[in-house]
């Protein structure tokens, strides 16, 4: 892996990775057997370190993992889980916002609508998708696609991965606030199940706009928060450097959200995080979504709608 792939707490992991790779490059000598043994020894050591490190990530470390540039993004999930995917563009009001990817396709044979934020993987795609920060058009496209899902009785799968809605001039001009509010409202309106999966960063209003769902899943090392730790730190601690403290205080990890009754399930990530094995992460997510959707097979449209309403009415209420 290149250096971009390592987080600041992964120094020893990077070291072993490098040594393993180095040994694998040595070829043609007589003592191959010894080398193999050394490699497998290092691999065992690596597994142990990965397990240990990832078992006790701090909330701030999880935030970093959730934002990892190599982490599978929305389009990776679509490519891995959806067949016959047809990308659908535009809000029919102003424009096309590629920060939100949407379309129809088949999930395990069944027609579904997919909506998610895409952050991009390199400079070109990051710019194309505006780093996953949607403008009003993105949310209005989401509303349009939810209506489409409702009309043709297709479940909605959303993939949440955004630092937040785009805080720019044009967004305000065109009603960012109204667009998000309407997207939340649209989530409540549909008579089909919505399964939302937080795959990386669930950033505030821009995230919940497409996460008002019958089932809310989170990847093990993803985060979901009312404000970024940096933003919170700069307001409450008056110092953006205190992000670590803010991350702890905000209770933004998947485990916290499960305890708080805000999400339904946590999807276990591959050893060392989803970025070390994107394929496995995507497949496990597919399993979890499939399980979540099955709960609604025998429900009427009205029951599905009501179930979602009751869930949110009860949510955050003390027992």
Partner 1 sequence: MSWLTNYVRPKLQGLAGKRDIPQNLWEKCPSCGAMIYHRELEQNAQICTQCNHHFRLTVKQRLDILFDDARYDEIELPEVKEDPLDFADLKSYPDRLKSARKQTGRPDAMTVASGTMEGQKAVAGVMDFSFMGGSMGTAFGEAFITATELAALQDAAFVMVTASGGARMQEGILSLMQMARTTLAVRKLKEKGLPYIVLLTDPTTGGVSASFAMLGDIAVAEPGALIGFAGARVIEQTIRAQLPEGFQRAEYLRSHGMVDMVVDRRQLRHTLGTLIDLLRRPVSDKPY
DSSP letter (8 states) at residue 262: S
The Cα 308–Cα 158 span in angstroms is 15
- Give the number of residues written for the chain: 319
Q: Are 186 and 149 in contact (CB under 8 A)?
A: no
| Of the candidate residues 82, 227, 243, 281, the single one contacting partner 1 (CB under 8 A) | 227
Q: Which is nearer to partner 1, 111 or 234 (CB)?
A: 234
Tally Cβ neighbours within 10 Å of residue 317.
7
Pick the piece of the chain touching partner 1 (CB under 8 A) from 8-16, 86-94, 120-128, 206-214.
Answer: 206-214
Q: Contact between 209 and partner 1 (CB under 8 A)?
A: yes
Residue 73 main-chain phi, psi, to 5 deg:
-110, 180
Q: Rule CB under 8 A: which of 182-201 touch partner 1? A: 182, 184-185, 187-189
Q: Contact between 205 and partner 1 (CB under 8 A)?
A: yes
Q: Which is nearer to partner 1, 113 or 213 (CB)?
A: 213
Q: Which is nearer to partner 1, 158 or 176 (CB)?
A: 176
Q: Contact between 224 and partner 1 (CB under 8 A)?
A: yes
Pick the piece of the chain touching partner 1 (CB under 8 A) from 8-16, 91-99, 148-156, 231-239.
Answer: 231-239
| Of the candidate residues 35, 42, 249, 299, the single one contacting partner 1 (CB under 8 A) | 249
Residue 87 main-chain phi, psi, to 5 deg:
-70, 130
Number of residues that bind partner 1 (CB under 8 A): 52
Tally Cβ neighbours within 10 Å of residue 1.
14
Q: Which is nearer to partner 1, 231 or 273 (CB)?
A: 231
What are the residues whose beta carbons fall under 8 Å from the beta carbon of 80, sequence distance 6 or more?
Answer: 72, 279, 282, 283, 286
Residue 267 main-chain phi, psi, to 5 deg:
-95, 120
Q: Rule CB under 8 A: which of 299-318 touch partner 1? A: 309, 312-313, 315-318
Q: Contact between 212 and partner 1 (CB under 8 A)?
A: yes
Tally Cβ neighbours within 10 Å of residue 231.
18
Shortest separation between residue 112's beta carbon and partner 1, angstroms: 22
Q: Which conformational region is residue 134 in: left (phi greater than 0), alpha (psi within -120 to 50 degrees), or beta?
A: beta
The Cα 255–Cα 252 span in angstroms is 8
| Of the candidate residues 45, 106, 126, 251, the single one contacting partner 1 (CB under 8 A) | 251
Residue 117 main-chain phi, psi, to 5 deg:
-90, 135
Q: Which is nearer to partner 1, 152 or 312 (CB)?
A: 312
Q: Contact between 70 and partner 1 (CB under 8 A)?
A: no
Binding mask 161-180 for partner 1 (x = CB under 8 A): ----xxxxx-xxxxxxxx-x
Element (H, E) at 317: none
Element (H, E) at 116: strand 110-117
Rule CB under 8 A: which residues touch partner 1?
Answer: 165-169, 171-178, 180-182, 184-185, 187-189, 204-205, 208-209, 212, 224-227, 232, 235-238, 245-246, 249-252, 256-257, 260, 262, 309, 312-313, 315-318
């Amino acid at each position: 892996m290149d250096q971009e792939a390592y987080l600041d707490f992964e120094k020893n992991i990077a070291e072993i990775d490098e040594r393993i790779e180095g040994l694998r490059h040595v070829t043609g000598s007589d003592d191959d057997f010894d080398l193999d043994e050394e490699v497998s020894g290092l691999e065992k050591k690596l597994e142990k370190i990965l397990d240990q490190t990832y078992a006790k990530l701090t909330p701030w470390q999880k935030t970093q993992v959730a934002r990892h540039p190599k982490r599978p993004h929305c389009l990776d999930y679509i490519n891995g889980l959806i067949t016959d995917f047809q990308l659908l563009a535009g809000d029919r009001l102003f424009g096309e916002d590629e920060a939100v990817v949407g379309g129809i396709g088949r999930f395990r044979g069944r027609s579904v609508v997919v909506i998610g934020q895409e952050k991009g993987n390199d400079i070109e795609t990051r710019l194309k998708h505006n780093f996953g920060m949607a403008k009003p058009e993105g949310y209005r496209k989401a509303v349009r696609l939810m209506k489409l899902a409702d009309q043709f009785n297709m479940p909605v799968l959303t993939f949440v991965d955004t630092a937040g809605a785009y805080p720019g001039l044009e967004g305000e001009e065109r009603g960012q606030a109204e667009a998000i509010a309407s997207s939340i409202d649209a989530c409540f309106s549909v008579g089909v199940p919505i399964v939302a999966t937080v795959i990386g960063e669930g950033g505030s209003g821009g995230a919940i706009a497409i996460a008002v769902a019958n089932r809310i899943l989170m990847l093990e090392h993803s985060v979901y928060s009312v404000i970024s730790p940096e933003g919170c730190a700069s307001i409450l601690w008056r110092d953006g450097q205190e992000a670590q403290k803010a991350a702890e205080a905000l209770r933004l990890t998947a485990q916290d959200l499960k305890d708080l009754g805000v999400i339904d399930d946590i999807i276990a990530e591959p050893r060392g995080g989803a970025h070390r094995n994107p394929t496995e992460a995507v497949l496990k997510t597919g399993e979890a979504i499939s399980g979540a959707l099955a709960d609604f097979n025998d429900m009427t449209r009205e029951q599905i709608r009501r179930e979602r309403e009751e869930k949110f009415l009860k949510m955050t209420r003390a027992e």
